Amino acid sequence: MINTIEQFGRNAGKVWETLNEKGSLSESELTETTSLRPYEFYIAVGWLAKENKIRKDGELYQLDETNLKIKIGVSAGKIWKALNLKGENDILNISKLTKINENDIYLAIGWLARENKIQLNMGEQQYKIKSILDTSHS
């Protein structure tokens, strides 16, 4: 299993540091500067949106109170429900089940990872997602 908190938090930190240093940037400028793959970038943005630290205006991302909460939060809720109904699943199946496009799924994965609600497993060139149910409060 990938440690989502460490890896995704580190990637979100790269995006935050880059925006803090350089100001507003486009997705392509951010992925080039941070050396993140597109899916890693979207996960980082979802993470930062959950922390209320990033906004998108037109094509530019900047550090500020998020304006992405509703879009990403709704997608995260749909994915969370699908995972709890269907168990571990891959990105393609989650996209079909929820009717959410792949980039928006990665945004929601970042959101859910920041909430420590999911884990990802890379196998056969496809991510598998599963929910983490907190049983410590029972």
- Asked whether residue 135 carries a pLDDT value surpassing 50, the answer given is no
CATH number at residue 107: 1.10.10.10
Domain that holds residue 14: 1-132
What is the token pair recorded at 100?
Answer: 């959410």
The one-character DSSP state at 2 is B
pLDDT in tens, 53-96: 999 999 999 999 999 999 999 999 999 988 888 777 888 888 99
Assess if residue 125 is contained within a domain. Answer: yes
Distance of alpha carbon 94 from alpha carbon 131, whole angstroms: 12
Distance of alpha carbon 40 from alpha carbon 65, whole angstroms: 21
* CB-based contact 127:112 (threshold 8 Å): no
Helices H / strands E in the chain, number of each: 6, 6
Assess if residue 21 is contained within a domain. Answer: yes
Confidence band (pLDDT; 50, 70, 90) for 1? very low
